[in-house]
Structure formats: C-alpha cells, structure tokens
Amino acid sequence: MKIVVLDGGCYSFQSQNGNKIVRYNSSSYNSKNETSSMNHGSAVTKIIDNYVQESTIISVQVFNDNHMIRARDLASSIKKSINEFHPDIINISMGTRSDSDGELQQAVNYAVKKKVVLVCAADNSGAISYPAFYKDTLSVLCDYKIKQIKNFNVVYNNWIDILAYSGHFSVEIKKRQEQVIGSSFSTPVITAIINNMWSKDLVGQDNLIVEIKKEMSQMQYSNDSFHLKHHHNIVNDFLTSKDKAIFLPLNKEVFALMNNSDFVVPHIASIYDYHTSPKIGKSMADIGYTSYVPNQVIGDMRDINWESNDFNSVVLGHVKEISLLLKKDLLSEIIEKCNEYNKKIYALDLVQNEKKLYKERLGGSLFTFNTPIVGVIGTSSKQGKVSLQLEITRLLKKVGYDVGLMLTEPFSEIIGCKHYWHYGYNASKFSWQEHVVGSNNTMKKIDDEKHDLIIAGTQSQVMSSNMKNTGFIPVETQSVLTGINADCYVLLVNKTDSTNLITRIVKYIESYYNRPVLALVESRGTSELKGNLNDLPIFCLSETDKVVKRIIEFF
C-alpha cells in the first residue's frame, strides 16, 4: 500500500511499524529550514504511521508557514502526486474555501479515473471547503460525540462522509510531545483505517468511495444497539432546605453549584464522581475556585450507600454523553435506585420548560417590565456567566437590595429560582419566536415578584464570529435577550478575545438592543486588557464589587 500525504512537509523520523517514510519537501518553500508547517505535516504523517504497517508513506510539502494554498496549486499537487507516485490513497488535511475555476473538481475526477482515494479534512469552522465538499472524496469532520480515536460514524446524504474522533492526539515532534486537535488530525486516522481494509475486491468496484463507505458502515462505532430510555412522564421532585442531597457526577453544572453552594437550596450531604475521575479523594475546597465551596471529599459513585439515612435526595448532573460512551443508562439506573430506596431525585436531563411559558400570544405582543434589569452576557462559552450573576446578586444583597434572578440553566430550581428559561445543554428545541415569548413570560413572572432589581443571564455568545456555518449563529441567545429586554448589560470577555471582537459585540448590543454596556469583566484571573476599552472599564472577577457600584450608579 502507498499513501501520499499532501501537507506542510515532514521532519525525518524512523517508522515504528515497519513503514517506509519518504519525504519530498519543496525547495520553493525553504524546506531546508525547519518550519512550523512541518509540525503540521509531521503530526499528520506520524498519526498515519502509528496505525498502519509495512506501507509506504510519502510526505509531500505543498504549503509553507502561512498554511495557505490556492485551489490551483492543490489541484496540481494532486495530479502530480498521482502521476509520480501512483498511490492508493492521498491524505489531504487541509483545503480551500473556493474552487471557482473548477480545477479541484477536475483533480478529484482524475483521482477517480485512476482509482485513487482522496481522504480530505473538512473545515474545523464548519464552512464548506474543497476538495472535501466534492462527492467523490471521503470528507472527514471531527465530532465531539466520538470519544475514541479509532471510532467513527459513516454519514449519508450529506457532503460530510465520516464523523471522527474530536479529542487531542499526542504526537512526538522533534523529541517533544505535542498535543494536536481538529479534523486535520482525525483525517489521517481514517486514512489508516481505509489502508488497513484495502483489498483487490474493493479496488475492482466501479464506485470505490461508495464501496468504502459500505464496508466502513459495518465497522463503525454506533449507538444503534444501545438506546437511552426516554423519561417523558417523570417529573423532578421539588427540593427544599430540609432535604439532604448527594450531588453527582462532578461535571460542569454540578461544579458550578459547588462553587456557589451558599445559593444551593438542599443541604449538600455528599459529592460523588465517576470511578475514573482524578478528583476522587480530593477535597472540593482544593479544586474549587470560590470561597463558597463545601469542605467535602469527593467520593466514588460506586460507593454510594443507598440505605443510608444521611441523604434523602439526589441531584444528578447531565449524564447523557457518558452514558452513550459507557453504553450504560446512568439516568435510568439512578431513577431506579431512587425508587427502590425512596429517595427524591432532581436530574438535570429531565428539566423542561413549562409549556404555557412559550405559548405565543395573539399578535406576538410582549410584556414590558417595571423592575430594573441587568443582563449578564458573554463573548463565548465556559466563562462563568452564572457565577458572575450570582456574585453580583450576592454583593447587591449585602447592601440591602432585594434581587431577583433569571437563569437559563437546568439547575435553576436547585439554587432557589422558581422561574427560569432553560435553553442550555440538552434542552428542548424551540423556534426563535418561542425563545422570545418564553423568556419574556419568565421575566414577567419575576417582575411580578416586585424585586428591587433583576439580574438576568443567557447562554454563551451573543454575536457570531463565524458566518460560515449555521451552528455558530446564536439565534437562541439573541431571541432570549429580546425577551429579557434588559436596561443595561455586563459583558464577560476572554483575555484572548481581540479588541475588534469585543468592540463589535458592544456596538451590536448597544445598537440592536438600544441599551448600554456598563462594564467588561475578564472571565479568568486578572484582566490583561489594560484598564478600559473605548471608555468602558475592564474588571477581573475579583473586582465584581466595582461592577456592582456601576450598576447602582446607573439606576
């Protein structure tokens, strides 16, 4: 078998699997010098080498350090490689956004004629990319649901053919272990799998791509034989301060609850995590990021004593993904245990919005509110928006304000929020109109409670930084913000965000929603954005008291 890798070149290395490694580094790309493009090409080549044996792998340098290549040059490289090396497979862990002259299409057609399989990485941003877009290639996209390196799913009726591993690869480059991630590095794994399933019978087929997909369909990772039960008729129990609850597993949502345990309604009896977790045996106080974490040691879920009277309730974080990975229905198991031992349960995977909340009124009319509203928004995910909401609430309460909270998280009731609009992870799908009406009705219920102030939050991102894929357009958050109709905003930013992105988001909020952004808050550690941006002050999380001061002054 012979595999050509069209990439950024490759450093010299010795195969560990008896493969012959051939390097063709172009002098036009200054390949005598060590370049960053070679890191990319070396990683791709080494991943193939890790998973094939006794094959010839030919690394051909077709781009340099700017990692850019024109469609014309890539098309030429494909044809030239076919003619010079006569490969069985060509791995292309890159692409272009355009093929306006159709030259890549012609190169793909030439590969089909010569019975050469092109295995092409799709664009990580979700944009259409070439040659992966063409039907006579095998296009590969990494997918977060695929958790094992050799696992994959075959896709039909789509320009994407293969969904592959989405995690990190550890690759040795120049005697250093480098971590790489993305479709560029999932693609060589698929190339290796195709190499290993190669046969004369396969090559003899009229449509090689179709036959490869058929054969891979028999090998693919699949959950078809494993189904999670649906629990549409099960409603979460209502927990009060008299309840003693165990919390598990220690994932993102439960971790946020532990870091704001002063808001948690039931008593925290114990905390548990999966038996493979490195957190087991550690104290929450050692791994938490606030002074509100409980000083409890994290236990192994397998050691829960269900007969114990030390707890009467279970708060269960999201377990769908880990259940599919383990092929073990954890939600059903915990529900059965709670039924058997007469324990209450509050499972985040069971949280649903009330139907009456999103029933649209005739004419699409919306409520306006009497209570002042502060919106807490962010430039991306995983910034700690809920923690900032709660810290602002905490500080306002300390100086005597009665504060209402509007959350969009599934654990809202666990921290005492009776009214919420859940549209985060594993939430039901709604139209943009239902998001507007649902969040607006929720705000009306909180407004009717006559607080001094309402702190309202949303899910991640308010403005798309990527217009190349519908999945990056935050229609839900934009709709929820319309329903909330805040009087002012606090914007969480990352220290890696460009000033251009932050400025655009501020302008968008202030023009579209016609309300001011009062402050920027850097989401992790001390702000590196130097004081202010366009006259907006920038604070770090430890300076939330200054944010509160600006809120009070505004109203």
- Catalytic residue numbers, as ranges: 7, 40, 184
Give the helix/strand (H/E) hosting 244. Answer: strand 244-248
Residue 250 near residue 297 (C-beta atoms within 8 A): no
For the record, the structure tokens of 196 come out as 């290993």
Beta strand 244-248 with 532-533 is unpaired
Query: Is residue 516 within 8 Å of residue 510, measured between CB atoms?
Result: yes
Distance between CA atoms of residues 350 and 318, nearest Å = 9
Length of the chain measured in residues: 555
Residue 341's identity, in one-letter code, is: Y
User: Nearest-CA neighbor of 544 among 530, 527, 528, 529?
Assistant: 527
Longest dimension (CA), the chain: 79
In angstroms, the first-to-last Cα distance of the chain is: 72
Residue (of 349, 337, 280) closest to 313 by Cα position: 337
Strand-strand pairing, 244-248 and 267-273? parallel
- CA pair distance 34, 43, nearest whole angstrom: 14
**Full DSSP string of 101-131:** T-HHHHHHHHHHHTT-EEEEEPPTTS---BT
d(CA 88, CA 111): 10
DSSP run (H or E) holding 269: strand 267-273
- Kindly report the number of other CB atoms within 10 A of residue 426's CB atom: 14
